[in-house]
Structure 1
Amino acid sequence: MDWHTLDSTPFLPPLYLRAALKRKVSGTALPEEGLRCWMTVDPKHLAAYRKVCGFEDSAILPATYPHILAFALQMQLLTARDFPFPLLGLIHLSNRIRILRTLGCVGYLRIGVRTQNLQPHAKGATFDLITTMEDSLGPLWEAQSRMLCRGVKLPGEVADDAVMSPTGLTELTRWKAPADIGRRYARVSGDYNPIHLSALSAKLFGFPQAIAHGLWNKARTLAALGQHLPASNIEIEVAFKKPVRLPSEVTLRSSAAASSGELQLTGANDIEHMIGRWHPFS
């Protein structure tokens, strides 16, 4: 993997335009270059993110916040000329976060993004978007987002990626996902995908209503789990199932607080929106 280090965080407006203009698949090979950039945490922006996602004030960064720091880099990577798939239309299937060290007292951070692991899928092709965060002492945090591009034909066997739903969980809490949460989350995340913003814009992409961002669902869930989870040496993975249509109410069920456990986010009539688990890693 070759790395290109940027002097500053990419400017988003031209990248939105680039994403809007690319509608067709242009190849079947992922780029071999990743992007890196040093950056700092803006306390006001972090506070706004905490408010939208339900996190309490803390000296420790929310486990999902590095995704926000990385968003502009991800946009530049996924809208580059050598990236083969259109960004609009990609489907976020799953997300795995690893917290290597406690995310406290963080200052100057290097964020890196790259893609890997292109695989055939029953509905097209998947790839992993890898995001990393490190400080002067070394790696702090890493994440893998599995993305699906429909309609791509790749040779090889299609892997069975079915995930068993957890059982025996206890209701922890429930909350409302309001009609405007997609717009509110977009303002703190930078992710202005039309499917999240309004019913009108979502209908242009085949959705009857706007849907919540998958990473908002995960962030809101981790905020609700709070002290259930260890602060480091933990892997938190979720699979996104049926989207959360806006507005709606969802219910979080989980295992008891422990070093390992499972979670499930459901909606009306027990429709399954997200399932996941957490555990230590070696």
Structure 2
Amino acid sequence: MTVDWLDLSTAPHLPTLYTQAARKRKITGSTLPTKGFRCWIDIDTPSLTAFRGVCGIAPSPLLPPTYPHVLAFGLQMQLLTDKDFPFPLLGLIHLTNRLQILRPMGSVTRLRVGVFVHNLQKHPKGATFDVVTRVDDQLGPLWEAHSTLLCKGVQLPGDVPESTALIVPPLTELTRWYAPADIGRQYAKVSGDYNPIHLSAVSAKLFGMPRAIAHGLWLKARALAALSAHLPADNVEISVAFKKPVRLPSEVILLSSDAGSSGDFQLNGQGELVHLIGQWRPIG
């Protein structure tokens, strides 16, 4: 698709965007805007270090695979609260996330981050769309991600497209960890994502959740930290599908295949509860 890019001189101001998000509660249309927002963003070393700490990521000259999402969060908020975007931000459900590392993400201090939306699709519960995030350095494209979100209640014509589920082969336990009750607040501080469903039981109950749930991208970041010795540094696509939410506090169990250019992983709770399934594959 052709994106009508709007270049910003500075990253968006998050408190203002949260106010805009809180005010918009209704669906106002059924078509996505063609505009996108992009901006050059400097990498702040203390912020990156704090992100590594919350996500259990060891020090490295390479940026963590999911860190560009943090750099892009303000731009994503700007786009999803824009007057031309038809759906309310609060209540959107993150279904899948697919990222591509095109080149090793090392020795970078400044990146151009761009975001846009496309691929509106009918869904049994409403409609889905993709938030696309592209990251360039001075040499060109470096990283790209597609996050599929669901907005309930949207009415679109036509049939629901057939879905293809990730097929997970037999896996073995790699590690397990405890997600504390305050991990949503910890991750919010390093990511800027203060969605109420992640912050506390009280705020989550306002949106129909019995307890706070962990951020999906924290789960992915934490899992990829544990898988770091398994994953290629570049030319890799890492996809996850979010299943049952992780209610806080909880213990989670990471299962994985062996290291290699391709592999699969899964994050489980107690019993048969599956929180996340994922895979990594070479690009192309």
TM-score (norm 2): 0.98
Q: In the alignment, is residue 132 of structure 1 matched against residue 137 of structure 2?
A: no
Using the TM superposition, give the Cα deviation of residue 136 of structure 1 relative to its aligned residue in structure 2, in angstroms: 1.0
The separation in 2 between residues aligned to 1:103 and 1:3, in whole angstroms, is 24
* DSSP-derived class of the 1:71 partner: helix
Match of 1:27 in 2: 29
Letter in 1 for 2:277: I
Q: Superposition RMSD on alpha carbons, in Å?
A: 0.7
Aligned counterpart in structure 1 of residue 48 of structure 2, from 46, 53, 57: 46
Deviations 1:5-45 (A, max 9, x none): 00000011110010011000000011110000001100000
Distance 2:270 2:135 in 1: 37
Describe the superposition over 1:91-118 as per-residue Cα deviations: whole angstroms up to 9, x where unpaired: 0000000000000001221000000000
Aligned partner of 2:274 in structure 1 is: 272
Question: Gaps (5+ residues) in structure 1?
Answer: none
Cα distance in 1, alignment partners of residues 196 and 63 from structure 2: 28
| DSSP 3-state at the match of 2:111 | strand
Distance apart, 1:161 and its partner CA: 2.2
C-alpha distance in 2 between matches for 1:128 and 1:236? 16
Q: Distance in 1 between matches of 2:107 and 2:34?
A: 33
What displacement does 1:61 show? 0.2
1:172-214 deviation per Cα after TM superposition (whole angstroms, max 9, x unaligned) = 0000000000000000000000000000100010100000000
C-alpha contact 2:166 2:278 (8 A) present in aligned 1: no
1:193 alignment counterpart:
195
Q: How many residues are matched?
A: 282
Change (3 A) 1:165 1:206: farther
Q: Please report the TM-score for the alignment, with normalisation by the length of structure 1.
A: 0.99
Q: Offset at 1:162?
A: 4.6
- Matching residue of 1:94: 96
Residues 117-157 of structure 1, C-alpha deviation per residue, up to 9 Å, x if partnerless?
00100110000000010011100000000000001010121
**Kindly, what percent of the aligned residue pairs are identical?**
63
CA distance in 2, matches of 1:257, 1:123: 37
- Partners of 2:120 and 2:154 lie apart in 1 by 11
- In the other structure, the counterpart of 1:63 is 65
Paired position in structure 2 for 1:230: 232
Q: Could you say which residue in structure 2 is the equivalent of 1:150?
A: 152
1:202 equivalenced with 2:204 (yes/no)? yes
* Residue number in structure 2 paired with 1:179: 181
Q: Deviations over 1:65-88 (max 9, x none)?
A: 000000000000000001000000
Alignment partners' CA distance in 1, 2:203 and 2:167 = 32
**CA distance, structure 1, for counterparts of residue 49 and residue 166 of structure 2:** 36
Determine if the alignment matches structure 1 residue 257 to structure 2 residue 259.
yes
